[in-house]
Amino acid sequence: MKASELTVAMVAGEASGDLLGADLIEALLQRVPQARFVGIGGEGMQRLGFSSWYPLQALSHMGLIEVLGELPRLLRLRHLLARRLLALRPDVFVGIDAPDFNLELERRLRRQGIPVVHYVSPSVWAWRQYRVRRIRESVDCMLTLFPFEADFYRVHRVPVRHVGHPLADRIPLENDPVAARQALDLPKDRTLVALLPGSRVGEVRRLGPLFLDTARRLLARRRGLHFLVPFANRETRRCFEQVLASSTDGIPLTLLDGDSRTAMTASQAVLVASGTAALEALLIKRPMVVAYRLSPLSYRILKGMVRIPYYSLPNLLAGRALVPELVQDQATPENLAEALLEQLDRPREAYLAACRDIHRRLRMQAGARAAEAVLEVAGHA
C-alpha cells in the first residue's frame, strides 16, 4: 500500500471525541503525510483536513430516554453512513466513543472485511458488562484511555491497547493562573469560578439553570465572585444565553467561546458536568465540584445497572472521593454552593499532589500510541 492510498474513516460523537480525533489525525499525518480522512468529525478534525460528511452535532445526545425521540433519525444516519463507507472501503475505520452508534456500525463494517478500531472504551466495566461479547465481534482493537479499562478487556479476550489520554500530554504539569487571567482580561480583585454545564445542548438545558441558581447562592454567601462560562460550540452558547435571558438578576458573568482550559486555569474553583471536562479540571489541578442530572426515568434505569462507587473520572482514577460529586437529587443549588465554598477554602497541598500523580500516570503520548495501533490494524505498520 502506498502512503497516498491510505484512507482512514472516523466517526466522532461529540466535542471530546473531536479532540481525540484531531490528536490521532495529527499523529497519523506525521507518519503518513498524504493520508485521507473522512466520516463525521468536528472543527478540530476538520482543521487538519478531515472531510466531515455530516455535522458532529448529529450524534450529540445524552440519556437513555432523551435519545428515543432521535432514534429513527440516528438509525437512518447510521444506515446511510454504512452504505457510503462500504462503497468507499477505507483501509481502516476508527469509531471514537459514541458506542451506541458506533459499535453496530463497526460490526457491520468488520463483517464486510473493513478493519476496525474503537477509540475510548464504553463504560462496559461499570454497567451492561454483557456488551463485551458484542464488542469482541465488532472491533479488531480497542484503544483505552485509562489503565483499569485495558485490564478488563484482557480478561475478556478483546484485543486492546492502553494509550493514555491526549489531554494529559497537552496540558502542562504546572500552569500559570495569573497569565490565564491576564489573557482573558479579567478583574484582578475578584475570585473566579468557572461554570461548565456540558458540551451538548441537552446537558446545557438541564444543567444551565442549576448552575446559574448555584451562582446566585454563592453570591449571597460570598462577595467578590465572578463567573466564567466557556462553551464548546455555538449551539451550547445559544442555549445558555436563552436560559440567561429568563433571569432578571445580574450575575457577574463572562461568556467565552472555547477557552475552557484558560478559564479553568484562571479560576480558583470549577463547577463542572461529569465527563471529560472534569478530567481536564483535574489535569489543570483546580478544586472542583462535579454535578450531573438526567431525566428521572433515565437515572432510575442507570442506577439499577451501574456497578461502580463513583461517577466522575477524577474519583474513578483516584480510587477514592477526591472531589465532591453530586448527582441527580443531590445536585441542588444549596448543596452545590456549599460544596464549592468548601473547595474554595480547603487546603490544597494533598489535592495538588494527587492530581499530579494521576497526570503523570496518564502521560503516555496517546496520539502516537493510538496512531501506531491504527496503522497496525490497517496493515500499514
292/311 Cα distance (integer angstroms): 9
371/268 Cα distance (integer angstroms): 36
Higher pLDDT, 361 or 293: 361
- Domain contains 169: no
93 and 52 inside one domain: yes
Name the CA dihedral angle for 258, 262, 267, 269, rounded to a multiple of 10 degrees: 70
Question: Cα(first)–Cα(last) distance of the chain, in Å?
Answer: 11
DSSP code string of 286-345: --EEEEE---HHHHHHHHHH---S--SHHHHHHTS--S-EEEGGG--HHHHHHHHHHHHH
Angle, helices 201-221 vs 234-245, to 10°: value is 50
CATH number of the domain to which 211 belongs:
3.40.50.2000
| pLDDT exceeds cutoff 80 at 107 | yes
Calculate the average pLDDT of the chain: 90
20/244 Cα distance (integer angstroms): 31
321/330 Cα distance (integer angstroms): 16
- pLDDT confidence band for 63 (50 / 70 / 90): very low
72 and 198 inside one domain: no
Region 71-90 average pLDDT:
93
Sign (positive or negative) of CA dihedral 313, 150, 162, 58: negative
160 and 44 inside one domain: yes
Considering only CA atoms, give the Rg of the chain: 21
What pLDDT is recorded for position 152?
87
- Domain contains 170: no
319 and 225 inside one domain: yes
Region 229-249 average pLDDT:
87
What pLDDT is recorded for position 1?
44
Strands in the chain per DSSP E: 7-12, 36-40, 51-54, 92-96, 116-119, 141-144, 160-162, 191-196, 225-231, 253-257, 269-273, 288-292, 325-327
- Domain contains 213: yes
Of 120-129, 142-151, 271-280, 290-299, where does mean pLDDT reach its minimum? 120-129
| pLDDT exceeds cutoff 60 at 375 | yes
DSSP 8-state symbol, 93: E
What pLDDT is recorded for position 297?
64
What pLDDT is recorded for position 3?
44
- Domain contains 24: yes
185 and 285 inside one domain: yes
96 and 200 inside one domain: no
Nearest Cα to 273, choosing from 220, 236, 318, 301? 236
112 and 192 inside one domain: no
Q: Which residues contact 37 (CB under 8 A, 6 or more apart)?
A: 7, 8, 9, 10, 25, 28, 45, 48, 49, 50, 51
139 and 182 inside one domain: no
- Domain contains 114: yes
- Domain contains 111: yes
Region 166-193 average pLDDT:
93
- Domain contains 171: no
Percentage of the chain exceeding pLDDT 90: 70
- What total of structural domains would you count in the chain? 2
pTM for the model:
0.82
Q: Which domain holds residue 116?
A: 3-164+364-377
What pLDDT is recorded for position 219?
95
233 and 182 inside one domain: yes
Region 181-187 average pLDDT:
91
Region 90-109 average pLDDT:
95
- Domain contains 172: no
Region 194-209 average pLDDT:
91
- pLDDT confidence band for 226 (50 / 70 / 90): very high
Amino acid at 369: R
Q: Are 142 and 158 in contact (CB under 8 A)?
A: yes
154 and 235 inside one domain: no
69 and 208 inside one domain: no
DSSP 8-state symbol, 187: -
What pLDDT is recorded for position 60?
60
354 and 369 inside one domain: no
Give per-residue pLDDT as tens, 287-346. Answer: 999 998 876 666 665 665 566 678 899 999 999 999 999 988 899 999 999 999 999 998
Max Cα–Cα distance, the chain, nearest Å:
65
